[in-house]
Each structure stands twice: as structure tokens, then as C-alpha cells.
Amino acid sequence: MVIIPRITFWIAILLGGALLGIYLDARLFAGYLHDVYFHILTLPLGLVLLYAVVLVSRNTGRILARMGRVGDLPRMETNRLVTTGVYSCMRHPMHLGLMFFPLSLALILGSASFIMIIAPAEILLILVMIRFVEEPEAIRKFGDAYIEYMRHVPAFNLKPSCLAMLFKIDAR
């Protein structure tokens, strides 16, 4: 999967989720549209979650840029399998963070249907994308080394020690 279709995918799920959420809210959750207390609750939660998504994406992106590239490659491309740091305890740390991007937007918007229906569906879609697009692509790119990596490292890991690496703020 090349960079442009990935960007298109993210724009589609975020913008589509927001628009569908607004549409469904007007029909299913009209009471929440103008509920100030609901928005006072969801906005800060969404901002905190968005901060976490950005932090995880930045941290894992820097690791990949620093360790996953040999030679002159286009931006956001890798050609070296990274298996150290947070990648030693989970294969998809960036995706773990990005999975919560739709939910953070839903909370910021205060869209009840986006929060309860659409964001969970989009999280499932992201999991399917990882399984059927990202993993086969990594196997094609890295071959047996990635298959061996899959045997020893889970796709996601919620152990505190692994999450601490994921959220570590690196000054570089």
C-alpha cells in the first residue's frame, strides 16, 4: 500500500466518521447535540486521547525514521525491520496509537453515534487492515525475518512496561 492511499484511507475514515456521526446524531441522539454537559465531558477526554495518539505516532515514527531506513528512501518508507525498543514487545505500536484517532475525534466533536457506533467500527476496520494489508506487506518486504518476528512478538501488547516505552517522550 503506497503513502497516498494510506492518507486517503485515514481522511476517509475520519471525515466520513464525522459526517456520518452528525447525520446519525440528528436522527438517533438528538438530545446530545446541544447537551453542554455531554460536550464538557467529551471534549477534554478527546483532547487527552488525541495528545496520546500524536505522542505515540511521533515516537514510533521517529524510531522508524532513525532505525528503519538504509540509504536514500522516500519519506515515510522503510527498508529495515525494526525489532528493538517498543518494537521488541509489539509489532504495531504506531497502529495501536492510530487506532484511537477516530475515537479522539469523536470525543472532541461530542458525537454520540461516532463515539458509540462509528469509532468502534473504524477500530475494527483498522485491525482488519493490519491483518490483511500491513502484515502481508511486511512479509513481502522482510520475508522470513518478519515471519520469525511474528512468532515471538505479538501485534499489540498492553503490558505496562511496553506501554511505558510507547509513551516515552524522546527529546531528539
- Give pLDDT tens digits for 138-153: 999 999 999 999 999 9
Using CA atoms, how far residue 4 sits from 10, 39, 120, in Å, is 10, 34, 24
Largest CA distance in the chain: 56
Residue with cell 505479538: 154
22 CB neighbour count, 10 Å cutoff:
14
Domain map of the chain by residue range?
3-167
Residue with cell 529495515: 80
Beta strand residue intervals within 23-159, DSSP E: none
Dist CA 165 CA 55 (whole Å)? 11
Helices 36-67 and 101-109: crossing angle in degrees, nearest 10, is 150
pLDDT above 90 as % of the chain: 77
Residue 76's pLDDT is: 73
C-alpha cell read off for 77: 518508507
| Confidence band for 170, pLDDT divided at 50, 70 and 90 | low
Dist CA 31 CA 36 (whole Å)? 10
- For the structural domain made of 3-167, what CATH number should be given? 1.20.120
User: Per residue in 54-101, pLDDT tens?
Assistant: 999 999 989 988 898 888 877 778 889 999 999 999 999 999 999 999
Residue 7's pLDDT is: 83
Dist CA 20 CA 17 (whole Å)? 5
In sequence order, what are the residues at sequence separation of 6 or more whose Cβ sits closer than 8 angstroms to the Cβ of residue 129? 9
pTM across the whole model: 0.88
pLDDT above 70 as % of the chain: 95
